[in-house]
């Protein structure tokens, strides 16, 4: 006699492979497989420590070497301080040699980098805003030329710039070095990216409805929103002009127009080729002084720098 089926009893699993209601978990890691040592917390910390050492050790050597006399510079360990701490004497000699030529180089570099980076940033922000918010013919083609300028290294343009400057009489003049610094294609690219992220189209449309022209909308509405972009682009261009070497080397022959990098190179070359060891110490101390303005500028503007570098990271 067959036993009747009862209602509510669980049905037997079908032979066709139908699974139960269990939710499958994540695939288990194969036994014995561990994450790479380089990607572990210890490995990442070690790599960051090596990167920090690579960055800080030259600066530490520079600071310690600037405290030495000329005799100690060659007779003591590179990472040992001077025995008589001659930093103040070295600084006094640095600013007095050749009738204070080093101070003249610093002033030249501040003019090249400060005024040049400021104007280049204004032009870059305005151009990037125009490429992002305005409609005009062949806009994307023109922007492609800007991107082409980003990919060309500055050293490759030094000789063409020299030939152009020779045609118009700007060789060995202040303007021969200053004017090329006003063009910053990478700044235009960054400004367009920042404009798309920071300036809403709705706000500009409301300003236009209220009667504001394009120039007023840019100055009163868009430009304050692009303050982090302005500081970021300014720091990029200021650092690039401050560290520029090859263009002034090609363009200038008058010592009074040299930027600090070119002047330090002249001292260093004199120490090596003409046997003037005192110029070697001048180059070391001058290098330390030339780094100080960059460090101070980054410390003063780091708040805007951080906000600019993280733009678009969080939506």
CATH number of 94-309: 1.10.3720.10
Q: Output the pLDDT for position 1.
A: 44
Q: Output the pLDDT for position 80.
A: 80
Q: With beta carbons less than 8 A apart as the criterion, state whether 251 and 154 touch.
A: no
Mean pLDDT of 197-209: 90
Q: With beta carbons less than 8 A apart as the criterion, state whether 194 and 231 touch.
A: no
Which residues, other chains included, contact 160 with Cβ-Cβ below 8 Å and sequence gap of 6+?
none
Full-model pTM: 0.80
**How buried is 187 (Cβ within 10 angstroms: 0-12 exposed, 13-18 middle, 19+ buried)?**
buried
Q: Output the pLDDT for position 298.
A: 85
Q: Output the pLDDT for position 192.
A: 95
Q: Output the pLDDT for position 13.
A: 45
Question: Rounded distance, CA 171 to CA 190, Å?
Answer: 31
Q: Output the pLDDT for position 273.
A: 75
Could you report the per-residue pLDDT of 120-144, keeping only the tens digit for each? Answer: 999 999 999 999 999 888 999 999 9
Share of the chain above pLDDT 90, in %: 44
Could you report the per-residue pLDDT of 26-68, keeping only the tens digit for each? Answer: 555 555 556 565 667 888 888 889 998 998 898 889 888 888 8
Query: Could you state, in order of their start, the residue ranges of all structural domains in the chain?
Result: 94-309
Mean pLDDT of 205-226: 90
Q: Output the pLDDT for position 212.
A: 85
Question: Rounded distance, CA 249 to CA 289, Å?
Answer: 21
């Amino acid at each position: 006699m067959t036993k009747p089926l009862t209602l509510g009893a669980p049905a037997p699993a079908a032979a066709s492979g139908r699974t139960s209601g269990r939710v499958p978990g994540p695939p288990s890691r194969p036994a014995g497989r561990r994450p790479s040592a380089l990607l572990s917390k210890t490995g990442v910390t070690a790599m960051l420590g090596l990167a920090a050492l690579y960055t800080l050790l030259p600066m530490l050597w520079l600071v310690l070497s600037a405290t030495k006399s000329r005799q100690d510079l060659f007779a003591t360990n590179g990472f040992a301080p001077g025995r008589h701490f001659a930093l103040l004497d070295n600084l006094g000699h640095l600013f007095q040699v050749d009738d204070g030529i080093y101070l003249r180089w610093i002033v030249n570099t501040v003019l090249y980098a400060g005024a040049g980076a400021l104007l280049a940033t204004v032009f870059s922000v305005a151009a990037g805003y125009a490429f992002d918010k305005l409609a005009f013919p062949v806009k994307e083609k023109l922007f492609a030329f800007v991107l082409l300028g980003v990919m060309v290294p500055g050293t490759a343009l030094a000789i063409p710039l020299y030939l152009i400057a020779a045609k118009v009489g700007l060789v060995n003049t202040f303007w021969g070095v200053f004017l090329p610094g006003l063009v910053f294609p990478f700044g235009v690219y960054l400004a367009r990216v920042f404009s798309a992220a920071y300036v809403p189209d709705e706000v500009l449309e409301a300003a236009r409805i209220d009667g504001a022209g394009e120039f007023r909308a840019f100055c009163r509405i868009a430009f304050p929103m692009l303050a982090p972009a302005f500081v970021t682009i300014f720091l990029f261009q200021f650092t690039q002009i401050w560290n520029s070497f090859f263009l002034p080397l090609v363009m200038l022959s008058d010592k009074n127009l040299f930027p600090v990098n070119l002047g330090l190179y002249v001292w260093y070359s004199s120490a090596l080729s003409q046997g003037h060891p005192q110029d070697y110490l001048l180059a070391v101390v001058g290098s330390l002084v030339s780094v100080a303005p960059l460090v101070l500028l980054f410390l003063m503007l780091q708040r805007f720098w951080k906000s600019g570098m993280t733009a678009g990271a969080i939506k």
